[in-house]
Structure 1
Amino acid sequence: MQALVYTLIALSAAGVGATAYFGLTFTPAEAILAAVVFGCVCVVLMERTLRQRAENRLEKAIEDLSRLLATDAQAGAVLGQRINAMADVNADLRLEGVEADISVLGTVIRQVAEAVAEIEDRVAKPQPAGRERMISATPPPAPVRETEPVIPVETLRQAMADNRLVYHIQPVVTLPQRRPQGYDLVPRLMLEDGDLADQDDFMPRRSGQDGRGGADLLRQIEGIGLAEAITICRRARSSGQPIKLYIPLSRATLGDSVAAEQLLASLEANRVIAEGLTFSIAEADWQSLSTPERAIAAAVAKKGAGFSILNVKSLRVDVAELASQSVRSLRIDAARFIESPETYTDFHASDIADYLARFEVVLLATGIANERQIIELLDDGIALVQGPYIAGPGPVRPDLVVETGRAPRQQLRRAEI
């Protein structure tokens, strides 16, 4: 295209020279000069036009490139945000949840298949003897009425006035190493002849707000236990070996404004050790808490302490709700769970502990009486146990030396820290 333009310029210059020579009577030299000047001027104008056009194209290309770079930078920022979001996602936890759900689903399918097969064979075959590992939807048994304590309330008042209440500890151990995970604070009453009475023999069963039910004695006993627990935890922490203590608690304390205020004040003043304090409350008391009492329990949880539900009769509960209320463990009777797991849950016996662990709630088996029960519980995935076979209640040593390693059986049976 440029060659054609330059050809036309040359022809135009020749035409101008011929016009100047023939029409304007220029001399040959002047006509040639006029043609050359005209051609140069045309070439300069043409080059200037071409350069402006090239510059415009270059500017447009630069603008397009800038827009592309800005788009790439924005896409890179979005990609970086997505990568950061993916990096913050705890994939392992989600995978564990999915695996647990798949395991539970597989267990349910297996239960349905075995239940159908059992129904088909029920007429022809008798029920097998021994422990049935598959759990049915049998409703929980009716609650057993508790007996009154052997020691009357008046005798207990006199013993409290004589300062004959002592607190011992009973270890809660983890399987299979049998290392102490924590210690139950167990109230015991020193009798006049020097013997020690267990809490079942003197603890009031009723927690009414009047003195006749023993609510005032319960509040006094639990207040002493809290002070004892704080002292033990502070000394153990000072020695560099912090421990966990389970402290008895009832509606008698939660339902009394003065006792509840003292409880919260003690926890507020000892926030540094509050994480090591867990309040043990009976299932009946926990389920019957009134709205003000639940508010006190929520305030206790905000201070850092937790709860352990005692004498759980059924695990058919909303575990997520319990976890949100700072419930850390559910205590079941080991013998009843081993012999009749269907009274606790519709899950398979080996899956219920893992299901509770998803919500950071631990299943704790109490009343261990022999080695066979420990083996059965290990098969079911229950790692926290307590009972007379492990260790009975024992006094707290004054120096509060805590053994963090594997404790020998003799030391556990003395239940000394």
Structure 2
Amino acid sequence: MQALVYTFIALAAAGVGATAYFGLTFTPAEAILAAVVFGCSCVVLLERSLRQRAENRLERAIEDLSRLLATDAQAGAVLGQRINAMADVNAAVRLESVEADISVLGTVIRQVAEAVSDIEERAKPQASGRDRMIAAAPPPPAVMREPEPVIPLEMLRQAVAENRLIYHIQPVVKLPQRRPQGYDLVPRLMLEDGDLADRADFMPRRGGEDVQRHIEGIGLVEAITIARRARTGGQPVTLYIPLSRATLGDSASSEQLIVSLEANRAIAPGLIFAINEADWQSLTTGERAIADAIAKKGAGFSLLNVKSLRVDVAELAAQGVRSLRIDAARFIDEPEVYTDFHASDIANYVARFEVVLLATGISSERQIVELLEDGITLVQGPHVAAPGPVRPDLMVEAPRPATPQLRRVEF
């Protein structure tokens, strides 16, 4: 292209020289000089235009390169942020959660496969298959009714009025060290002959809500006093306080309960209300609102006599439930009654929602070993420690004389 332009410039210069020689009567030397000057001028202008065009192209290339470098720098910054975020992620915790989920999923898949195999075996045509299936079907579980209390309601009212109701404590220990994790407040009734009656002997099953509210109110006062004095002594303690729908359903009692927790917010996290699972499941809307208010004050709940672990643990945790109490012997002998998970997986699964399993009724060392193998570390029962009186300096009133067969439990 440039050669063609230079050719046109040369032809134009020759034309200018010829015009000067023939038209303007220049001498040959002047005509040649005019042609040379014209040609040089055209070449200079052309070179200048080409240089300006090259400089503009170079500037645009530099701008494009700058934009690319800025984009690369921004991408590097984003990559650095992602690397920092990945460095801050605790991969070990996530891997443990994934491993736990995979373990639970594997157990469920294995159980489903076994169930499908069992169904296929039963579905095979046999001579008396239907009769055998009917014969092999397990009988429905018998409904266990709690025995009626030995002490009549009127005698209980009289004993409570005479201030013969006392509270003992029974430790809840953590395995394998067997250190006390908390203490159950156990109501006991001092009889006229000096003997002590347990809760099952006097707590009314039907009716007597006023007495039940009075007993639970005394327990709350005892628990607050013990927790405050223990915290002052530098030994914070967790106390499990009996609670029932008789208190939650009464406006005056529930209001007094909320006021007491509000006035003792410092020790509220150490107060856990033990309520029967059947009562918890049958709470009305108003009673549920009181339970939510208790949880907002910092206290928690422990469900007693849990019959099945096929529940929404996340929902229970959101409602303030901190522990589920199961019967140790039944869980060891018949774990399938409680859950479809493997016995060694259910404790880890429940713990993911900050809820713990508490095995009660421990009666032998063998049960402790088997529960440890299943990952259950909170236990309670007569083999661990029996209920005993509270230390005198932590009681509300002056200590009453204890019977010789009771030993003191201190924390």
Give TM-score scaled by structure 2 length.
0.80
Do structure 1's residue 330 and structure 2's residue 331 form an aligned pair? no
- Letter aligned with residue 305 of structure 2: N
Structure 2 contact 268–299 (Cα < 8 Å) conserved: yes
Q: How does 1:145-294 map to 2 (within 5 A)?
A: 145-206=145-206, 213-294=207-288
Structure 1 gap segments, 5+ residues each: 123-136, 207-212, 401-412
Task: Give a deviation string over 1:248-274, Cα, whole Å, max 9, x none.
Answer: 110011101111112222222333332
Structure 2 contact 258–294 (Cα < 8 Å) conserved: yes
Structure 1 contact 282–311 (Cα < 8 Å) conserved: yes
Moved more, 369-378 or 27-36: 27-36
Q: How many residues align?
A: 386
Structure 2 gap segments, 5+ residues each: 123-136, 395-406
CA distance in 2, matches of 1:119, 1:16: 111
Match among 334, 355, 358 for residue 361 of structure 1: 355
Please report how far the alpha carbon of residue 29 of structure 1 lies from its aligned counterpart in structure 2 after TM superposition.
6.1
Residue 330 to residue 141, structure 1, CA distance change in 2 (3 Å): farther
Structure 2 contact 169–183 (Cα < 8 Å) conserved: yes
Matched residue, 1:310: 304
Structure 1 contact 168–396 (Cα < 8 Å) conserved: yes
Please report how far the alpha carbon of residue 140 of structure 1 lies from its aligned counterpart in structure 2 after TM superposition.
7.9
Please report how far the alpha carbon of residue 389 of structure 1 lies from its aligned counterpart in structure 2 after TM superposition.
1.3
Secondary structure of residue in 2 paired with 1:158: helix
Secondary structure of residue in 2 paired with 1:351: helix
Matched residue, 1:106: 106
Secondary structure of residue in 2 paired with 1:369: coil
CA distance in 2, matches of 1:165, 1:377: 35
Matched residue, 2:130: none
Structure 1 contact 140–344 (Cα < 8 Å) conserved: no
Structure 1 contact 138–343 (Cα < 8 Å) conserved: no
Please report how far the alpha carbon of residue 392 of structure 1 lies from its aligned counterpart in structure 2 after TM superposition.
1.5
Residue 138 to residue 271, structure 1, CA distance change in 2 (3 Å): farther
Residue 17 to residue 138, structure 1, CA distance change in 2 (3 Å): farther
Structure 1 contact 248–279 (Cα < 8 Å) conserved: yes
Moved more, 113-122 or 285-294: 113-122
Task: Give a deviation string over 1:316-341, Cα, whole Å, max 9, x none.
Answer: 33333322322211111112222333
CA distance in 2, matches of 1:117, 1:61: 73
CA distance in 1, matches of 2:307, 2:140: 7
Residue 268 to residue 32, structure 1, CA distance change in 2 (3 Å): farther
Structure 1 contact 249–279 (Cα < 8 Å) conserved: yes
Structure 1 contact 363–382 (Cα < 8 Å) conserved: yes
Task: Give a deviation string over 1:266-289, Cα, whole Å, max 9, x none.
Answer: 222333332222110012211221
CA distance in 1, matches of 2:157, 2:2: 119
Please report how far the alpha carbon of residue 369 of structure 1 lies from its aligned counterpart in structure 2 after TM superposition.
1.4
Task: Give a deviation string over 1:160-214, Cα, whole Å, max 9, x none.
Answer: 23333322221111111112111112222333444433222222223xxxxxx22
Please report how far the alpha carbon of residue 94 of structure 1 lies from its aligned counterpart in structure 2 after TM superposition.
4.5
Structure 1 contact 392–414 (Cα < 8 Å) conserved: no
Structure 1 contact 138–342 (Cα < 8 Å) conserved: no
CA distance in 1, matches of 2:118, 2:56: 88
Matched residue, 2:61: 61
Residue 234 to residue 7, structure 1, CA distance change in 2 (3 Å): farther
Matched residue, 1:340: 334
Residue 19 to residue 114, structure 1, CA distance change in 2 (3 Å): closer
Please report how far the alpha carbon of residue 391 of structure 1 lies from its aligned counterpart in structure 2 after TM superposition.
1.1
Structure 1 contact 139–343 (Cα < 8 Å) conserved: no
Structure 1 vs Structure 2 CA RMSD: 3.5
Task: Give a deviation string over 1:289-335, Cα, whole Å, max 9, x none.
Answer: 11211121122222222211111122233333322322211111112
Residue 7 to residue 414, structure 1, CA distance change in 2 (3 Å): farther
CA distance in 1, matches of 2:73, 2:339: 56
- Letter aligned with residue 346 of structure 1: D
Please report how far the alpha carbon of residue 225 of structure 1 lies from its aligned counterpart in structure 2 after TM superposition.
1.8
Task: Give a deviation string over 1:15-74, Cα, whole Å, max 9, x none.
Answer: 544543454233566445534542442233113311331233134324433553565466
CA distance in 1, matches of 2:235, 2:66: 64
Moved more, 377-386 or 353-362: 353-362
Matched residue, 2:397: none
CA distance in 2, matches of 1:284, 1:140: 20
CA distance in 2, matches of 1:275, 1:139: 44
Secondary structure of residue in 2 paired with 1:279: strand
